[in-house]
Amino acid sequence: MENDWDKAIGSLSKIKVFSNLNNDSVTVSGEADDLKCIGIGTDAAVFQSLFAPAYAFKIYAKEKVHKVKIEANVYEILGDSPFFSRCFTSDDEYLVLSYEEGKTLFECVLQGIHIPEQVVNDVEEARAYVRNKGLNPRDIHLKNIILQNGRAKIIDVSEYTIQGNDFRWEHLKKGYEQYYHLIEGNSVPFWLVEKIRKWYNQRGKNSSYEEFTKNVIRLVYKK
């Protein structure tokens, strides 16, 4: 019996994804008229098919395809949860996930869309749920959280088998509590958000959260 997502399989074979150095976003090669790229990360690109719009197809870079089985297994462990996408199946290079409507928090910041406190509470609850399943909720950031009907939906679980805390969410939560009121309802320029993101990724262990935020504040008010 054919599944709805099978309608997109032929087109997916026309797309190739390649990773880049310095943790830069992947490069996509090839095209198909019925596929729309809806997301690009450092390991994979995500597509939606005109013929199967209820699904999101996450195609991993050729150098990162070993992560497909890892992420599929994480979804299986997580099971049915309102906080995460659903994984229907996987192949050697891609996952078939539920397509999730809404803006990422990254887009919300750029467009001045209000991010309610309920989103923060949802992520906290989702992280507790992940730990209860024996996994480790890592790599939770603005591009991995969707604002959906006033609630949070987390769309990337690929690092949940990795040990250690990357503190991304803790720092985001603290930043929301301390500084979000300063930008709430206002569009933040893309160049500024990208600069802050790159600073954060490069800061290493030599910069505390407090020192980092002071540098950001100096940058903002200098402009």
Q: What is the mean pLDDT of the chain?
A: 91
Same domain, 81 and 136: no
pLDDT of residue 43: 93
How many domains in the chain? Answer: 3
Band the pLDDT of 119: cuts 50, 70, 90: very high
pLDDT of residue 207: 64
* More confident of the two residues 22 and 174: 174
Q: Which phi and psi angles does 100 have, rounded to 5°?
A: -110, 120
Same domain, 138 and 154: yes
CA 91/CA 105 separation, integer angstroms: 29
* More confident of the two residues 7 and 97: 97
Among 82, 98, 114, which residue terminates a domain?
98
Same domain, 141 and 180: yes
CA atoms in the 13 A half-sphere facing the CB of 121: 5
Q: Are 26 and 61 in contact (CB under 8 A)?
A: yes
CA 207/CA 210 separation, integer angstroms: 8
Q: Are 27 and 43 in contact (CB under 8 A)?
A: no
pLDDT in tens, 39-77: 999 999 999 999 999 999 999 999 999 999 999 999 999
71: domain CATH number is 3.30.200.20
Q: What is the pTM of this model?
A: 0.89
Provide the domain limits for residue 211: 189-223
Same domain, 145 and 223: no
Same domain, 142 and 195: no
Same domain, 20 and 91: yes
In the predicted model, what is the mean pLDDT of residues 188-212?
Answer: 78
Q: Indicate the DSSP class of residue 27.
A: E
Closest CA to 194 of 142, 119, 124: 142
CA 163/CA 58 separation, integer angstroms: 23
Same domain, 10 and 94: yes
146: domain CATH number is 1.10.510.10
Same domain, 145 and 209: no
Q: Indicate the DSSP class of residue 21.
A: G
> In the beta sheet, which residues pair with residue 58?
46, 95
pLDDT of residue 222: 66
Tell me: pLDDT of 145 over 70.
yes
pLDDT of residue 1: 39
Tell me: pLDDT of 143 over 90.
yes
Tell me: pLDDT of 138 over 70.
yes
Which residues does 171 contact at the CB level (< 8 Å), separation at least 6? 200, 209, 212
